[in-house]
Amino acid sequence: MKLTLYYRPGTCALASFLALEEAGADYDAVDVTDRPDLLASLNPRGKVPVLEVDGHTLRENVAILSFVARRYPAASLLPQDPFEEAQCLSTAAWFASTLHIDYRRFLKPAVYSPEHAARQAISAEGALQYSRDLDELDRQLRGKTWLHGEQRSIADFYGLVFVDWAHRSALYDPGWTGIGQWAERLRQRSAVARVLKIMGSPLVAGDKKC
């Protein structure tokens, strides 16, 4: 099976990248930062990540993560128990539908309004909601090693995207000790460290990207 991940550093493609690397998959990774035509040919929405599977394209992190977990069962990227698995997918859906969108409102308010004053309000509200989202994530992580099940899962990889973005945009709260310890646990994993390096995501303050 030929797998190619198309990504841009600093983006939510980090989640899919981490899953492929942790799965031990044999894949190519292509940075499409300066290749908008290539990206447009793979995804008319112009968004990363895209996973090409034997010439067929798969879009959306939730789908890519689920595919990688099922394609590489030995890597145990989803909990075994069906209810825990559903909880894991529930968290992934929450990330895609809520955290990503709140951050987008914060970072790209122009998408939502042509009015300068309205944009400021949209951005401020996005930042507020994003902080609340991460408060919730922090509460979920307190006293736990991983988000779901006994091992790291696709939810943990996806969650790291939002911690990275919080660092990049100075929205990170050092009081999030649940998040801090969990992120450090992830960072200690060699596969995670490799991908964070390629993605330029040291999990410290830096350029805003989304």
Q: How many residues contact ligand GSH, by CB under 6 A?
A: 10
Looking at the Cβ atoms of 185 and 198, the one nearer to ligand GSH is: 198
Options 23-31, 43-51, 142-150, 195-203: segment touching ligand GSH (CB under 6 A): 43-51
Plot region of 55 (φ>0 → left; ψ -120 to 50 → alpha; else → beta): left
Plot region of 62 (φ>0 → left; ψ -120 to 50 → alpha; else → beta): alpha
DSSP class of residue 75 equals: G
Options 41-49, 69-77, 135-143, 166-174: segment touching ligand GSH (CB under 6 A): 41-49
Strand-pair partners of 58: 51
The radius of gyration of the chain's CA atoms, rounded to the nearest angstrom, is 17
Out of 36, 46, 73, 202, name the contact with ligand GSH by CB under 6 A.
46
Options 44-52, 116-124, 133-141, 174-182: segment touching ligand GSH (CB under 6 A): 44-52
Out of 9, 25, 30, 60, name the contact with ligand GSH by CB under 6 A.
60
Pick the closest to residue 63 from 21, 99, 16, 95 (CA basis): 16
Q: Are 182 and 137 in contact (CB under 8 A)?
A: no
Residue 49 in the binding site for ligand GSH (CB under 6 A): yes
Helix (H, G, I), strand (E, B) or coil at 65: helix
Minimum CB separation from ligand GSH for residue 175, in Å? 26
Out of 47, 71, 187, 194, name the contact with ligand GSH by CB under 6 A.
47
